[in-house]
Amino acid sequence: MTEQSPTRLRILEPPREQIEDLFERKPKRRWMKWCLFLLLILVGLILVSPSLFCQTRLRDYLLARVLPSEVGSLQIESLDVGWFTPLSLSQAQFVDPTGKPLLQVNRIVGDKTLLDLAQSPFDLGTIVVSQPRVFLELRRDGSNLEDTLEKLANAFPVTSENTPDPSPEESSETAFGGKLKIENGELLVNDLTNQSSWQIQALHTEVTIPQKAEQPWLATTQGTLDGHTFGLEFSSALGLATETWPLGPDGSVQLAADHLPVTPLRYIAHR
């Protein structure tokens, strides 16, 4: 009977270089996973940030911070805008510092999403303002609207010092372009100069703002005053970047009126 030799197991160890590579790869893979995770969180926050702004108290807080109290306050009941959703705003009201309403808007709708504006930031598309109401108080030295515009200009000053002259290509471009439509608006006027009041109803206005300064601004409006319908057409190359603003580069304005009421013109002539 022959004796069997004991079985010997030989353990093959991988080279030391492979072991070191194996332990060095794990931290790298974990780092890549963390980077990918943080990137996904960042993309998610960017996608939902418009909704967070529109549907939380953050909207009211930011509006209050942006608009100084001495100018007035802006109140918005509903606001919706997103990367793939166009602007939709309802029940907005601007109140002056004394608590009197200056502007009320039932609804504002745009046709551009945030993604569209990111791709073409100077094209605002078409914005439709439905059923706006403007409460105007006229004085011999001004109006509540002029007071608000002056306060806005002081709160957000625009200085042109040390600004290089634009090139011919840049000077032909305005800041923004698009179309503004006003549907079924009202202008309620309290004329303190003669203790009278009047209002313009069924006001429909369309304003086309070109992106080229040499192209004319076009505006058409129609409404009713004291039961009489009137119409007005305006055309002028305003040229916001020119010294002759608001009359445009050539200083010309084309104005066509149809049954224009005299009542609003009395205050304009007095001023």
**Cα–Cα–Cα angle for 109, 120, 175, rounded to 5 degrees:** 85
Q: Report the pLDDT value the prediction gives residue 11, as an integer from 0 to 100.
A: 55
Amino acid at residue number 198:
W
Phi, psi of 108 (to 5 degrees): -130, 125
| DSSP tag of 260 | -
Contact predicate 214/252, CB 8 Å: no
H/E segment holding residue 52: helix 16-55
CB contact at 8 A, 199 and 189: yes
Task: Name the pairing type of β-strands 101-110 and 142-143.
Answer: unpaired
Predicted TM-score (pTM) of the model is 0.72
Contact present, 127 and 110 (Cβ < 8 Å): yes
pLDDT per residue as tens, the chain (271 positions): 555 555 555 555 556 655 555 555 555 567 777 777 777 777 776 776 777 667 667 777 777 777 888 888 888 888 888 888 888 899 999 998 888 999 999 999 999 988 888 888 888 899 999 999 999 999 888 889 989 988 888 887 755 455 555 555 554 555 678 999 999 999 999 988 888 888 999 999 999 988 776 778 889 999 998 788 988 888 876 654 444 444 444 556 676 777 777 666 666 666 5
CA–CA gap between residue 118 and residue 87 (Å, rounded): 14
246 preceded by a cis bond (ω within 30 of 0)? yes
Q: What is the C-alpha to C-alpha distance for residues 158 and 148, in angstroms, rounded to an integer?
A: 16
Residue 128 · residue 108 · CB < 8 Å: yes
Q: What angle do CA 231, 219, 254 make, to 5 degrees?
A: 85
The strand pairing partners of 209, in sequence order, are 178
pLDDT of residue 268: 63
pLDDT at position 29, please?
A: 63
Bin 251: left if φ > 0, else alpha if -120 < ψ < 50, else beta.
Answer: left
